[in-house]
Structure 1
């Protein structure tokens, strides 16, 4: 029963492939862009930091810092970018500035503390591997030092997210899956016609279709990683070239991330050795994928920018 149904479905797809491809591509694009179109109702709910059962509020100090970064980046419509308190250790962002909902930038709680003011970070409970971190232990002191950023490093990290939104990167990411789907389908049909497989055995066409789907999926993963790496480097370069202070902050930011990851590698034991490399970079989750550019190469990029006299 299942085989005849599959053949009928395949015939139906062949008959209406152009319409189905258009609908699928539009659906993929809309699904990937949905939380950027409505960031307040989706993205913020996911990344919002909570304290005592209530959404955490950003301090006036961080709001002022965020406003300064907007001015340094050269944002004209500042009302299109709104900050909020996010959990985690890195700034996050979503939204499209020129849409009515605007954009959101999540600033992590550890940004409340700085190298000069360390009190806030030690007042927080951090549990790793089921145990609370002792801030006075050797590893606790190393982790605390890695979580404290200077104002310049904080500005660089926030500027990266603003540049990400300003350059319409969410649209680029959303357009990638439908582009790969359309490319795979169209090239698959063209090759099938070229080889004359439409008049060949059904089994052969089925094997060919499965092969094309697998190749297209691998191609999407590789294209996604390549685009992600290119955007990572682009955001770092734009943020670091705002001024020398931002560039120095970028070097500090990535050095602290690498130091934090090395500390987490020790604290997490065997699990940490699977996630973090001895250098502090992340190990690929899958053997052929590396979603983001290595932290060491991103830091080295900024170091090279600092060496240029006119940087």
Structure 2
């Protein structure tokens, strides 16, 4: 009677095409799942709460959101929904052509202005277990970094709209299946080239581990490269809407960098680990850098703004 391992190996060999299709489909579905049902996944995760109830978006921000959709030329604005989210800048998920549509979270600080910072100072922000004192020097710097002009707010919303309108989540979801398929094809090809199917079981196992490791590295690099491309592409499309949007993009990234520098100071050793002195985020791992650096995105925003000025003249 053949050992269970050999039976499993024979089963995998016999059904490898079907299993490959199933695996690629599963990887794609897992990546796109919360974009297919953003109302019951992503929205619930980022929903802001107030006094035990979901926080409601202000009429002002609802109007701003609809104006941004109009400026972006969205074909089906009814498929875009805004909600009040926690955090300090907009987040979004979904695909406009699916029944659930797109859900974009807008934070409370977008309600604030320099003359009325209530959306910021009315909130309790804890850093290292201590409440931020808005009257302190660091608190005042953080408050200033969280105040966005209407142009910066519109740019921040527009870049989320552009990313989701162009089907960015679908493109990101293809990285996993593509790398999985590549691992399987390379594994089979190398075994055939080196004649390992009739050779040592240990040699085949070593090759499988090696190819799987290379596939994981390729996935990280491909996924992050796609994310960077989408970041830059969304920024360009949002800044290209008008001179005001381009100017808002410069301010938006200036404020993010200023905020991160302040958080680096307030958070102590943990802030030093998370934020670079420039205000960029440090990579989450040796091979992972999920988003394009904020300094580079600010530099590109400045270039786009200059081009808008020159184009107007």
Give the TM-score range, shorter chain.
over 0.9
Q: Which residue of 2 aligns with 1:233?
A: 232
Q: Which residue of 2 aligns with 1:243?
A: 242
Q: Which residue of 1 aligns with 2:62?
A: 63
Separation (CA, whole Å) in 2 of partners of 1:4 and 1:47: 50
Separation (CA, whole Å) in 1 of partners of 2:197 and 2:295: 50
Separation (CA, whole Å) in 2 of partners of 1:66 and 1:58: 11
Unpaired runs of 5+ residues, structure 1, are none
CA RMSD of superposed structures (Å): 1.3
Is 1:310 the counterpart of 2:311? The answer is: yes
In the TM superposition, 1:187-206 aligns within 5 A as 187-206=186-205
Q: Which residue of 2 aligns with 1:288?
A: 287
Q: Which residue of 1 aligns with 2:92?
A: 93
Shift of 1:35: 1.1
Q: Answer whether contact 2:64 2:154 (CA < 8 A) is retained.
A: yes
Structure 1 residue matching 2:84: 3-state secondary structure: strand
Shift of 1:115: 2.8
Larger CA deviation: 111-120 vs 191-200:
111-120
Shift of 1:30: 1.2
Q: Answer whether contact 2:186 2:211 (CA < 8 A) is retained.
A: no
Dislocated runs of 4+, deviation >4 Å: none
Shift of 1:291: 0.8
Aligned length: 309
Is 1:213 the counterpart of 2:212? The answer is: yes
After TM superposition, the score normalised by the length of structure 1 is 0.97
Separation (CA, whole Å) in 1 of partners of 2:4 and 2:86: 48
Is 1:163 the counterpart of 2:162? The answer is: yes
Structure 2 residue matching 1:310: 3-state secondary structure: helix
Larger CA deviation: 172-181 vs 62-71:
172-181
After TM superposition, the score normalised by the length of structure 2 is 0.96
Q: Which residue of 1 aligns with 2:75?
A: 76
Unpaired runs of 5+ residues, structure 2, are none
Separation (CA, whole Å) in 1 of partners of 2:6 and 2:268: 52
Structure 2 residue matching 1:208: 3-state secondary structure: helix
Separation (CA, whole Å) in 2 of partners of 1:24 and 1:115: 52
